[in-house]
Structure 1
Amino acid sequence: TGKAYDDPMWDQLLDQMSFEDMSLLVNLGGWQTAQIDSVGKVATSDCDGPAGVNNFITGTYGTAYPTEVLMAQTWNTDLLYDLGLAMGQEYADVNNYGVYGPAMNTHRSAFAGRNFEYYSEDGVLAGKLAAAQVNAMATKGTYNYIKHFALNDQETNRCAFLLTYSNEQAIREIYLKPFELCIKNFDGTQIAVMSSFNWIGTVPACSNEDTLTTILRNEWGFQGMVITDYDGSYGYMITDHCVRTGNDLMLGFSSQASNQLTNTESATLNNALRTSCKNIMYTIANSGYYTNTTDDGGMSNMTKLFVTIDVVTVLLVVLCMALVIVRYRKKHAKTTAEVTPEEKKEE
């Protein structure tokens, strides 16, 4: 596993990174984290999601698991742990340890567009189930971006400056509760968080210091990286703001004007970038990318499984066709043999 979060060797590692290295690492987070040669960091692959392996970038797909609503209806943390083991193994088999899920926002309305990805209207139930699933997956080397932090309430207009208002009591007792329980009951070392598209009041959730730093890190003791939701051309996902307030990684391709970091002499920006890079690398250093057996360049176990299934299916089809042909020939031969000489003479 990687060094402890407070190990002084992290500073020695970060000292080797240039401003350009740090800018690349925090900005290039679209379904990946970047390779950084100066510190020997490998490129990694992240993908959806709550229902299983679904990587449209690499064309890698796995089992489609039940929706989280159905999982929650079991009220069974042991079953969710077993599900997490199976799901985590699939991610490990395809050498994809970054998982955008599970999602654990609250069901406020039966018509919310992402309810199928969320466990429940009950924050305690959601948090307990999520903790079981994430703990199990982590044993296989995954780092799960639990999402969407926080107060992600609807899909309609989700990227159009959606302002969400609530009071602190409701926020803590209802909307943050699943995340709090999941993080406080996490037994591993590698875990991540995905922030949300919406704004909390008049501050974007992706750069909200109250939730991302004060509560998440200082109160709950979270040690890991935080990524934005998809960093499109929305105008308010600004890298400079994000890294200063506790959001470490941008889920995009470093192509937006809001991603450009030009103030290279800013001591506060450099310090924020160092912290973000540390959070990213700490998470990945403790994941399967470094702790599990590395890919030897051959087919993944998942690919081998699907190829085997395809081959067996083809063989079964061929066997069935052969049996049909053999049966037809036997029946035809029997019919011919039953024609007597007298019948032939009459003909």
Structure 2
Amino acid sequence: MFNLVNLGGFQTVAMKSVGKVQTMDSDGGTGLNDWYIGVFGTSFPTAVLICQTWNTELTYRTGEALGAEFADCEIWGWYGPGMNTHRNAFCGRNFEYYSEDGVLGGYMASAMVNGGTSNGIYAYIKHFVLNDQETNRCSFLLTYSDEQAIREIYMKPFEICVKANRDMGGAAAGYPMAVMTSFNFIGDVYCGANPDLLNDVLRDEWGFQGMVLTDWDGSYGYQLTDDVVRGGGDLMLGFLQHESNQLTDRDSATLVKAMRQAAKNIFFTTVNSGAYTRSASGTGLSPMVKTFIAIDAGILAAVAAVEAIVIVRWRKKSKTKV
């Protein structure tokens, strides 16, 4: 469990003792863009451009196409889409987010997520929540707002998206989902270790079932694995490279209980993904490989047919000359 919760950088690790396979995750708000393992796919329009269509059907189809590329590469986790609010025009990542209107952003994000997850991938909807500033985002950024504004504006896309996924049947119907938290604090509590946010609202109130991942685990002095798993988080987006990842009191009953719950949430998400339902637990050939094999076989058959025709004609010409 110590390794499972800490080694969440672009993956969830295998656990042979319970038959869990390794799963791969990838970044890319506009499509498969995995610089970590060097796999790249189609670059679709940015979220802000897609949102300007107001077309949820087209957005769903875009999500389907994106999810198909992830599934073909057997990368089942997507670090996206971003659905934070355009609080002002100067946020450095507004292009990754849908809208300044929480309701519109929620409906567009829901269509994108449900399209993608229909192919067995799990989308890490991000960054939960109030991530609307890039400057000093990792430097103990304390964001203050009243609950009404948080619920009606900043949480609204996430709420709509989670509930729409749940209404589609969620993971049990082949629509698994995950959440990525944000770097900032709400008041003086880090979003990645905030039980009011992750347990009371996300899970208990909205009915979310799945795993919760931190944003990049650079530590920055406050991303403590112990705090995260106790506060409702499940997975650290990193490689166990920081002092803050160490769990010194591993005999603590409350810590063990928190890690068990985190492991359960990770298992629930991955076991209901295409890693198990579509790729024969990682032992079979991926759809992409099968397609390439079929194409190669077709080309070889065509070349063989052409060669046969050439040989037959050459033999006929040889007989005529004799």
- In structure 1, stretches of 5+ residues that fail to align are 1-21, 313-347
2:198 matches 1:237: no
Alpha-carbon displacement from aligned partner over 1:74-115 (angstroms, at most 9, x marks no partner) = 001111111111111010011101000001000011110110
**Residue 49 of structure 1: aligned partner:** 28
Q: Which runs of 5+ in 2 are unaligned?
A: 300-322
- Structure 2 residue matching 1:147: 3-state secondary structure: strand
- Alpha-carbon distance in structure 2 between the residues aligned to 1:36 and 1:199: 33
CA distance in 2, matches of 1:208, 1:158: 17
> What's the counterpart of residue 39 of structure 2?
60
Aligned equivalent of 2:87? 108
Which residue among 261, 265, 275 is the counterpart of 2:247? 261
The Cα of 1:298 is off from its aligned counterpart by 5.9
Within 5 Å, which residues of 2 pair with 1:281-292?
281-292=267-278
Are the counterparts in 2 of residues 28 and 250 from structure 1 also a CA contact under 8 Å?
A: yes
How far residue 233 of structure 1 moved from its aligned partner, in angstroms, is: 3.4
**SS of equivalent residue, structure 2 residue 26:** strand
TM-score by length of 2: 0.86
Amino acid at match of 1:113: G
Aligned-CA RMSD value: 1.9
Q: 2: CA distance between counterparts of 1:28 and 1:258? A: 13
- 1:301 matched to 2:288? The reply is yes
Matched, 1:26 2:5: yes
- TM-score, normalization by structure 1: 0.80
Conservation of the 8 A alpha-carbon contact between 1:97 and 1:288 = yes
Question: 2:7–2:238: 8 Å Cα contact kept in structure 1?
Answer: yes
In 2, the alpha carbon distance for the partners of 1:49 and 1:302 equals 22
Matched residue, 1:247: 233
Structure number with bigger Rg = 1
Moved more, 237-246 or 291-300: 291-300
Task: Look up the equivalent residue of 1:106 and give its one-letter code.
Answer: T
User: Contact 1:48–1:55 (CA<8 Å) still a contact in 2?
Assistant: yes
Q: Deviations over 1:177-229 (max 9, x none)?
A: 00000000112311000000011111111111111111001100111000000
Partner residue, 1:168: 147
Contact 1:90 1:302 (8 Å CA) reproduced: no
Q: In the alignment, is residue 194 of structure 1 matched against residue 173 of structure 2?
A: no
Of 19, 36, 60, which aligns to 1:81?
A: 60
8 A contact 2:74–2:279 mirrored in 1: no
Q: Secondary structure of the residue that 2:20 maps to in structure 1?
A: coil
The one-letter amino acid of 2:27's match is D
- The answer on 1:123 being equivalent to 2:110 is no
How many pairs were matched up?
288
Alignment match, 1:206: 192
